[in-house]
Amino acid sequence: MPQQPLSMSEKKKQKRAAILKAAIKVFSEKGFAETTIAVIAKEARVSFGTVFTYFETKEILYEKAVLEPLDEIKPYFLKVDDYFSGTPLEKIQQMIETHVDLFSERSEFLRLIQQVLGRPERFPKLFEELDLFVDDFVNIISPTIEEGQRQGVFYEETPALMAQSYLAILNGMRLTYINESTHSLWNALTVQALRLFGPIIKN
Amino acid sequence: MPQQPLSMSEKKKQKRAAILKAAIKVFSEKGFAETTIAVIAKEARVSFGTVFTYFETKEILYEKAVLEPLDEIKPYFLKVDDYFSGTPLEKIQQMIETHVDLFSERSEFLRLIQQVLGRPERFPKLFEELDLFVDDFVNIISPTIEEGQRQGVFYEETPALMAQSYLAILNGMRLTYINESTHSLWNALTVQALRLFGPIIKN
Amino acid sequence: MPQQPLSMSEKKKQKRAAILKAAIKVFSEKGFAETTIAVIAKEARVSFGTVFTYFETKEILYEKAVLEPLDEIKPYFLKVDDYFSGTPLEKIQQMIETHVDLFSERSEFLRLIQQVLGRPERFPKLFEELDLFVDDFVNIISPTIEEGQRQGVFYEETPALMAQSYLAILNGMRLTYINESTHSLWNALTVQALRLFGPIIKN
Amino acid sequence: MPQQPLSMSEKKKQKRAAILKAAIKVFSEKGFAETTIAVIAKEARVSFGTVFTYFETKEILYEKAVLEPLDEIKPYFLKVDDYFSGTPLEKIQQMIETHVDLFSERSEFLRLIQQVLGRPERFPKLFEELDLFVDDFVNIISPTIEEGQRQGVFYEETPALMAQSYLAILNGMRLTYINESTHSLWNALTVQALRLFGPIIKN
DNA sequence: CATGAATGAGAGTTCATTCAT
DNA sequence: TATGAATGAACTCTCATTCAT
């Protein structure tokens, strides 16, 4: 019986989640302007009025649809030491594999981020958020890069630039490539990303 | 009298060019959906009715606005031997510098390409065009890469992948970085791009 | 135990009254169309679902919200002999003072009535009710007017018209004036209203 | 031929006027909130899109629909000396007749003004306008009232109050009365209004 | 050719009302 | 009985496109 109110709010949470999931899907495919609330509602199997019950405006829904996936991938970028271990080279290698995997399985992440990066004046708040995320990533990853540099396996480059060029290549990975699940392609891309850090000879 | 129709068509060409230029600017900033013909017309200093005199629909105008810049940058990707010379390493280095320069000065190129790449189902024709462009680039650049590999200065990687990862990092370069005209940043990015081809130690 | 249902219905009555009071306030300020049930509910400190428990539709709630204040002021218009005494002039003078006071303290009365009078086709039932009220007032007040006429202190005018012009001036009193609680203004207005009945020289 | 451009703008003016006329009609009947642009468009026999060609928003259209009639009636209130002549009593009498006539023939004036007066917070700009209009009227009419007072035919009352009570009775005149075109009723109302100024005995 | 008025499909948003809990 | 989530009709406003001038 004490679960009763919980199950109530549980149902609401589920519906909210369903709408958000639908929004992420549709927004990532069609962008903000060409997405209609009606389509999101249909995808979420609710009436379009219900969308407004959970999200006040389309704009707010978009923000949530961007920030929620961002929060989901954040740990894989910011908790490097929790997820990856070994030598700096090994850690970076694991990280890259994880990131490529992440985007290959949930390409919406990439699309939404690209949409925001392409329109900084249109989505200033979200852009700012991404900017901070980049800064955080740079700060988190720098010590590992520096250690690798001391070990002589990474280039003597400012860690910030190395991190940013890595994000650039990640970001620039074409969704069409990504969605092709040819493992050999991923491996190759991973190696190429790694080469931004140090001179890697595949064996 | 025979000049009359010529000067007329000259005037018309100029007007058409003004509209297209305005369209490139506005589309690159606001994307297809959030751009209105009225704004393009204002930017081009013509009435919005005139836009339709030169371009049948908004859709067609967008196509031209994407393809024209694409044609403009094509030579710098496809006529590698005309523009760049020296050893493979030198050629690739010159090429990268040229491309980064190109995007840093006219970031609309990058924006428009990213818009199309982010919506392949929405702009199938344009996407196809970009796809062909990538293929062409890969074919053009491969001999140079292979020669570099034979000389032992480039990684032993399939040239296609190297070319594609290069395009990825170019594409992923953030417009905000790009627009900052700090030369040191460009140089650094150039070096990082070069590292996708071979192990480069800055001196 | 027999009190239980009584106290229950007491509680219900209080809640109903709270909602009606809130409705009167909000409807008088915002009119029918721009009032939302949600705002009334908030004002009454109940959930908006509860409003529908007590009043089937917004339309019905509006009717009650108009008629209840009307019933509240009715005695002051229709029970002239109960409230006022003395010569016809004295009675009318007292009446006017009472009416001006009434509207000055609870301007919602005036607002709601004006809303209905301004939209006879929209609120036919309520308009009819007001019409009957006017007729009743005319009938009630006529004997006093006629007596005053016999005494030579009132104009020789059809009592109906005198009553109606009096209602007109009452109705036309601007709420902004009314809400300013300068007593001198009220007195002056009272005198002016009185002058519709007979030639009054202030001393 | 020089008329050509004139006739163009003439046509536009006519269409604009048709829309405004329709707006005045519908707004006066249904109020702001319950009026839809579609109905105004239908009444004006244009597509509803055309309404927005001439008036940016519904709000702006309402403002024009209130202010234009106001401007139309203003002269009859503010140019007293141009329209009326004779003794103060005669002038005021003519004025009242004119005003009652005005409202009896174009009752929209009255309705629109009442709507604004009933919602000062909702229509602050329009309310302010009406306030200024009242002030102007008071200033204009005061000399005539004062002269009448010197002649002993008007009450010794502050002219401002006399003017305001006159506006009150005008404003409070019920549209149902007004629209009944029984001349005897108008005459009677005119006399009653006059009695706010001085003790009038009908003969 | 150039212009911009006219049109109406289509989108976001509001809100009365219903009804399951 | 009280609540508030769900619904969808209805409204305002935008804007590509057409076409008369």
Measured N-to-C along each axis, helices A58-78 and A124-150 cross at an angle, to the nearest 10 degrees, of: 10
**Two tokens at C179?**
């809400």
| Residue A103 resides in a domain | yes
**Is B109 within 8 Å of B103 (Cβ atoms)?**
yes
Does A59 lie at the interface with B, CB-CB under 8 angstroms? Answer: no
Residues D52 and D70 in one domain: no
The dihedrals phi and psi of D179, each to the nearest 5 degrees, come to -70, -30
Residues A94 and A23 in one domain: no
Q: Which residue is nearest to nucleotide F2 (CA to C1')?
A: C50
pLDDT score for C183:
74
Q: Is the pLDDT of residue B2 over 70?
A: no
d(CA A193, CA A178): 14
| Residue A83 resides in a domain | yes
**What does the pLDDT look like over C135-189, one tens digit per residue?**
999 999 999 999 999 999 999 999 999 999 999 999 998 877 766 767 777 888 8
Which chain D residues touch C169 with a CB distance below 8 Å? 165, 168-169, 172, 196
Among D25, D132, D164, D202, pick the best mutation site for testing chain C contact (most C Cβ within 10 A): D164
**What does the pLDDT look like over D138-154, one tens digit per residue?**
999 999 999 999 999 99
d(CA D65, CA D68): 6
Kindly report the CA angle at C54 between C49 and C56, in degrees rounded to 5? 80
Q: Identify the CATH number of the domain in which residue C50 sits.
A: 1.10.10.60
**Is A92 within 8 Å of A137 (Cβ atoms)?**
no
Q: Give Cα D54 distance to the centre of its chain.
A: 24
pLDDT score for C203:
55
DSSP secondary structure letters along C88-99: HHHHHHHHHHHH
Which amino acid is located at B188 in the chain?
A
pTM of the model: 0.91
pLDDT score for D177:
74
| Residue C29 resides in a domain | yes
**Is D127 within 8 Å of D202 (Cβ atoms)?**
no
Residues D23 and D85 in one domain: no
Tokens 């939209």 -> residue:
C119
| Residue B150 resides in a domain | yes
Least confident of B96-105, C26-35, D184-193: D184-193
Residues D99 and D48 in one domain: no
Chain D (109-168) residues lying within 8 Å, Cβ to Cβ, of chain C: 111, 114-115, 117-122, 131, 155-158, 161-162, 164-165, 167-168
Q: Do chains C and A touch (3 or more CB pairs under 8 A)?
A: no
Among A116, A130, A161, A182, pick the best mutation site for testing chain B contact (most B Cβ within 10 A): A161
Closest CA to C183 of C85, C105, C91, C93: C105
Taking each continuous run of H as one helix and of E as one strand, the counts in chain C are 11, 0
pLDDT score for D201:
74
Domain of D164 in residue numbering reads as: 66-195
| Residue D203 resides in a domain | no
Q: Is the pLDDT of residue C11 over 80?
A: no
**Is A144 within 8 Å of A80 (Cβ atoms)?**
yes
| Residue A200 resides in a domain | no
Segment (H or E) for C39: helix C37-44
D131-151: burial string, b at 16+ Cβ within 10 Å, e else: eebbeebbeebeebbeebbee
**What does the pLDDT look like over C44-56, one tens digit per residue?**
999 999 999 999 9
Total domains in the fold of chain B: 2
d(CA B2, CA B6): 7
Residues A99 and A4 in one domain: no
Nearest Cβ partner of D168 from C114, C119, C172?
C172
Residues B78 and B157 in one domain: yes
Segment (H or E) for C101: helix C88-105
**Two tokens at B65?**
């606005």
Q: Give Cα D22 distance to the centre of its chain.
A: 17
**Is C165 within 8 Å of D189 (Cβ atoms)?**
yes
Give residues with Cβ within 8 angstroms of B192, minimum separation 6. Answer: A157, A161, A162, A165, A196, B169
**Two tokens at D164?**
């305001």
Q: How far is the CA of A49 from the C1' of E18 (A)?
A: 14
Residue D155 beta carbon within 7 A of nucleic strand E: no
Domain boundary residue among A10, A37, A56? A56
Neighbours of B201 (CB within 10 A): 9
DSSP secondary structure letters along D83-133: H--SSHHHHHHHHHHHHHHHHHH-HHHHHHHHHHHH-TTTSHHHHHHHHHH
Tokens 């001179």 -> residue:
A199
pLDDT score for C8:
57
**Two tokens at D29?**
């009947």
Residues C32 and C84 in one domain: no
pLDDT score for A5:
43
Nearest Cβ partner of C192 from D131, D156, D161?
D161
Neighbours of B177 (CB within 10 A): 16
Q: Which residues of chain A have pLDDT under 70?
A: 1-8, 178-181, 202-203
- Mean pLDDT over each residue of chain C, to the nearest integer: 90
Closest CA to B178 of B164, B166, B165, B189: B189
Kindly report the CA angle at D79 between D77 and D80, in degrees rounded to 5? 75
**Is C178 within 8 Å of C199 (Cβ atoms)?**
no
Residues C51 and C88 in one domain: no
DSSP secondary structure letters along A31-91: TTTT--HHHHHHHHTS-HHHHHHH-SSHHHHHHHHHHHHHHHHHHHHH-HHHH--SSHHHH
Q: Is the pLDDT of residue D159 over 80?
A: yes
d(CA A38, CA A58): 11
Q: Give Cα B91 distance to the centre of its chain.
A: 19
Distance between D86 CA and the closest CA of chain C, angstroms: 23
Segment (H or E) for C32: none
Q: Identify the CATH number of the domain in which residue A171 sits.
A: 1.10.357
Among D123, D174, D175, D191, pick the best mutation site for testing chain C contact (most C Cβ within 10 A): D174
Residues A78 and A155 in one domain: yes
Closest CA to B200 of B165, B154, B148: B154
d(CA C161, CA D100): 15
| Residue C201 resides in a domain | no
Sign of the torsion angle spanned by Cα atoms D79, D81, D82, D85: positive
pLDDT score for B89:
94
Which chain B residues touch A161 with a CB distance below 8 Å? 185, 188-189, 192
Residue C57 beta carbon within 7 A of nucleic strand E: yes
**Is D20 within 8 Å of D64 (Cβ atoms)?**
yes
Neighbouring chains of C at 3+ CB pairs under 8 Å are D
**Is B174 within 8 Å of A168 (Cβ atoms)?**
yes
Residues D96 and D169 in one domain: yes
Domain boundary residue among C9, C36, C56? C56
pLDDT score for A45:
96
Closest CA in chain A for residue B166: A169
**What does the pLDDT look like over C182-199, one tens digit per residue?**
777 788 889 999 999 989
Residues A52 and A99 in one domain: no
| Residue A104 resides in a domain | yes
**What does the pLDDT look like over B62-105, one tens digit per residue?**
999 999 999 999 999 999 999 999 999 999 999 999 999 899 88
Sign of the torsion angle spanned by Cα atoms C154, C155, C156, C158: negative
Provide the residue count of chain C: 203
Query: Phi-psi bin for C45: left (phi > 0), alpha (psi -120 to 50), beta?
Result: left
Residue A34 beta carbon within 7 A of nucleic strand E: no
Contact B155 A189 (CB under 8 A): no
Nearest Cβ partner of B119 from A31, A177, A189?
A31
Give CA torsion, residues A180, A183, A185, A186, to 10 deg: 100
pLDDT band (50, 70, 90) for residue C69: very high
Sign of the torsion angle spanned by Cα atoms C64, C66, C69, C73: negative
- HEC profile of chain B: CCHHHHHHHHHHHHHHHHHHHHHHHHHHHHCCCCCCHHHHHHHHCCCHHHHHHHCCCHHHHHHHHHHHHHHHHHHHHHCHHHHCCCCHHHHHHHHHHHHHHHHHHCCHHHHHHHHHHHCCCCCHHHHHHHHHHHHHHHHHHHHHHHHHHHHCCCCCCCHHHHHHHHHHHHHHCCHHHHHCCCHHHHHHHHHHHHCCCCCCCCC
Segment (H or E) for A173: none
In the predicted model, what is the mean pLDDT of residues D93-110?
A: 92
Residues D75 and D29 in one domain: no
**Is C61 within 8 Å of C40 (Cβ atoms)?**
yes
pLDDT score for C201:
74
